[in-house]
Amino acid sequence: MNKSLQEGWLGQAHSDWKTPDNIVNLVHLTFDNQLHLDPCTNEENSTGADYWYYLPHCNGLELEWQTNVFTNVIDKQIKNVYCNPPGGKTKGKSNAGIWWDKCYTQHHKYNLNIIFMCFKVDTLNLNPTMFDNTVICFPLKRIKFVGYGDRPSHHNAIVLLSKDEKIKDNFILHFSSLGTIVVCD
C-alpha cells in the first residue's frame, strides 16, 4: 500500500540524513508496526510508512497530513507519523524548527501521534505549552545519521507528541534503551 506522492517543491537546498535502522525499528515498535506517514523523506530513506512524501518533489509542509492527496479526502486512518526533517535552513529559519511547528500544529489539529527526530535541540521553537502530551528521549550518545559522516557535534532529542497512553508507554519502553526519558503532561 506504500504510495509516493510526487508533487510540490521545497524550493530550498537542504541536507538529507537517513534515519538509522535501529531508530526506525524503535518507531515501528512504538506504533505497534502501524506507521502511517513519513511527511519528509527521500527515495533512499524508506521508513516503511504506508504513505510518504518525497522531498524535494512533494512538500509535507504544504499538505494537511490527514489528507489523501490522491483523492483530496480526509483519511482518518492516518494517525501515526514519523518526521526526521531535513537539516539546514529555509529563508533564514531552521528546517527543524519549521518542521517542529508543523508537527505540533498537525498533532493538535488531527490528534496525530508524532515521533519527531530533533537533530539539534536548540533549533526548535519551544515554549512551555508545547510540552503538553510530550515524551522526550535524550540519547546518551549522539545519533549517527546515515550519510552524515561522523556523529553530529550537538545533542539530539527524539520527541513524541501523543495523547495515547499506550503509545506513550511503548515509546518509554523502547526508546529508554537509547537514553534518558522525560515525560511532560
- Answer with the residue of higher pLDDT: 14 or 67: 67
Q: What is the pLDDT of residues 36-47, one digit of tens each?
A: 999 988 777 678
- What's the rounded Cα separation, in Å, for the pair 64 and 110? 9
* 3-184 topology per CATH: Rossmann fold (3.40.50)
Q: Grid cell 507528541 — which residue?
A: 161
pLDDT of amino acid 33? 95
pLDDT of amino acid 122? 62
- What's the rounded Cα separation, in Å, for the pair 171 and 30? 5
Answer yes or no: pTM beyond 0.75: yes
- What's the rounded Cα separation, in Å, for the pair 131 and 44? 32
CB–CB of 82/40 below 8 Å?
Answer: no
- What's the rounded Cα separation, in Å, for the pair 131 and 43? 32
- Answer with the residue of higher pLDDT: 109 or 144: 109
pLDDT of amino acid 6? 31
Q: In the sheet where 134-139 sits, what is the strand order?
A: 3-5, 51-54, 37-41, 80-83, 113-118, 157-161, 134-139, 179-184
The bridge status of strand 37-41 relative to strand 51-54 is: parallel
Q: What is the pLDDT of residues 128-160, one digit of tens each?
A: 566 778 899 999 988 877 766 665 657 788 999
